[in-house]
């Protein structure tokens, strides 16, 4: 992820956006954006989806150093299956070391799927949350039937 700041800066500039414009959209300070772009600080993982949306790129593009250009990769195999779950309500089982306590045994709506990340929405004890979760943390997915 050492190229993250460079990718943010390059894409922001290509869109004609100043650091101030981008900071306002992200609800952070210009100095925060400057630190991200300089590589002296990293955005919280929860911010990556929002950054990708604002810049019009994928989370994979931002997070993978070896991905040179933004663009949709061809969806194959398990990726195709997971993409078909977008808009469905599911329950996740996580690998023990990567368990997400907020989503444990909670019906979640898969809002979208992008490469190796899923954006999910769930009504939890803390209220409604939207999270970006790595597919690699998911052990299994159970589709929740309506009414359950």
For residues 109 and 63, the answer to whether their CB atoms sit within 8 Å is: no
**Separation of alpha carbons 13 and 31, rounded Å:** 16
**Separation of alpha carbons 85 and 89, rounded Å:** 8
Detail the DSSP E strand segments found in the chain. 89-94, 108-114, 117-124, 127-134, 138-143
DSSP string computed for 10-22: HHHHHTT--HHHH
CATH topology of domain 77-143: SH3 type barrels. (2.30.30)
Domain limits of the chain?
4-63, 77-143
Residue whose structure tokens are 């190229």: 3
Q: What pLDDT sits at residue 37?
A: 92
Residue whose structure tokens are 């991200």: 36
Return the CATH class of domain 4-63: mainly alpha
Distance of CA 120 to the CA centre of its chain: 9
| 35-79 residue pLDDT tens | 999 989 999 988 999 999 899 888 888 888 776 654 444 445 566
CA atoms within 13 A on the CB side of 85: 25
Question: Taking 90 as the threshold, does the pLDDT of residue 137 lie above it?
Answer: no
| 77-133 residue pLDDT tens | 566 677 778 899 999 888 877 777 888 888 999 998 776 788 899 998 889 999 888
């Amino acid at each position: 992820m050492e190229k993250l700041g460079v990718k943010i800066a390059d894409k922001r500039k290509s869109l004609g956006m100043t650091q101030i414009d981008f900071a306002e959209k992200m609800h952070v300070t210009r100095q925060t954006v400057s630190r991200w772009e300089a590589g002296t600080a990293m955005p919280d993982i929860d911010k990556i989806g929002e950054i990708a949306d604002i810049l019009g790129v994928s989370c994979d593009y931002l997070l993978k150093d070896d991905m040179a250009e933004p663009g949709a990769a061809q969806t194959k195999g398990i990726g195709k299956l997971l993409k078909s779950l977008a808009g469905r309500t599911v329950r996740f089982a996580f690998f023990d070391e990567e368990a997400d306590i907020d989503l444990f045994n909670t019906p979640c709506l898969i809002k979208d799927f992008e490469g190796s990340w899923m954006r999910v929405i769930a009504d939890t004890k803390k209220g409604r949350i939207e999270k970006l979760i790595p597919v690699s943390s998911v052990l299994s997915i159970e589709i929740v039937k309506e009414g359950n």
